[in-house]
Structure 1
Amino acid sequence: MIKKLPVSCPSCENELAVEKLICNNCETQVVGNYQLPLFLKLSAEEQEFIMQFFLSSGSLKDMAKQMDVSYPTMRNKVDDLITKIKTISDE
């Protein structure tokens, strides 16, 4: 089972920050207080949607066919994701 990186605090639900990175090869450690990349702040479903969008060369028409939904439904999903990304970017 692959462990999923937690992005919110299990206690208060605030956003978590990265404190330490470790090289698995030489065990070098980088310590600090770093924000998570925007992509990791999205849900797994939203991340998968973006990957599918990328892999379909940005064709909403192709994605709508693959997901068996209408083009307007796919367009609405993209618009919702754009709104969420803008909100996260403004935080």
Structure 2
Amino acid sequence: MNPKLPINCPSCENALSVSQLTCSNCHTSVSGNYALPLLLQIPEEEQNFILQFFLSSGSLKEMAVQMGKSYPTVRNKLDDIIEKINQLKNQNK
């Protein structure tokens, strides 16, 4: 099992940022203070929903069948994720 990437500080709940990236091949490191990519700032469940949406070629109807949920339920979930991403996008400006 891969550890989950934390997106919030376990102490104060503020957003975490990336401070170092390392090449697994040559071990070169790059340091700085970088924001997490927008899609990594949402919970894993919502990331998985977006991935499933992409893999089903954007068909909410197909997703509803795969998930065993109604089309309106799946549509509402997508709308909620879109709203959350728009809020994050506005915060990151």
Is TM-score (shorter-chain normalized) higher than 0.5?
A: yes
Superposed CA offset, 1:57-79 (max 9, x none)? 00000000111111111110111
Partner in structure 1 of residue 25 of structure 2 = 25
SS class of match (2:3): coil
Partner in structure 2 of residue 51 of structure 1 = 51
Partner in structure 2 of residue 41 of structure 1 = 41
Q: In the TM superposition, what is the alpha-carbon distance from 1:18 to its structure 2 partner?
A: 0.4
Partner in structure 2 of residue 2 of structure 1 = 2
Q: In the TM superposition, what is the alpha-carbon distance from 1:22 to its structure 2 partner?
A: 0.6
Q: In the TM superposition, what is the alpha-carbon distance from 1:3 to its structure 2 partner?
A: 1.3
Residue identity over aligned pairs, in percent, reads: 62
Structure 2 gaps, min length 5: none
Separation in structure 2 between the aligned mates of residue 44 and residue 28 of structure 1, nearest angstrom: 29
The residue type paired with residue 45 of structure 2 is: E
Q: TM-score, normalised by structure 1?
A: 0.97
Partner in structure 2 of residue 12 of structure 1 = 12
Structure 1 gaps, min length 5: none
Q: In the TM superposition, what is the alpha-carbon distance from 1:89 to its structure 2 partner?
A: 0.5
Partner in structure 2 of residue 70 of structure 1 = 70
The residue type paired with residue 42 of structure 1 is: I
SS class of match (1:2): coil
**Following superposition, which runs of at least 4 residues in structure 1 exceed 4 angstroms of deviation?**
none
Q: In the TM superposition, what is the alpha-carbon distance from 1:6 to its structure 2 partner?
A: 1.0
Separation in structure 1 between the aligned mates of residue 24 and residue 3 of structure 2, nearest angstrom: 16
Q: CA RMSD in A?
A: 0.6
Q: TM-score, normalised by structure 2?
A: 0.95
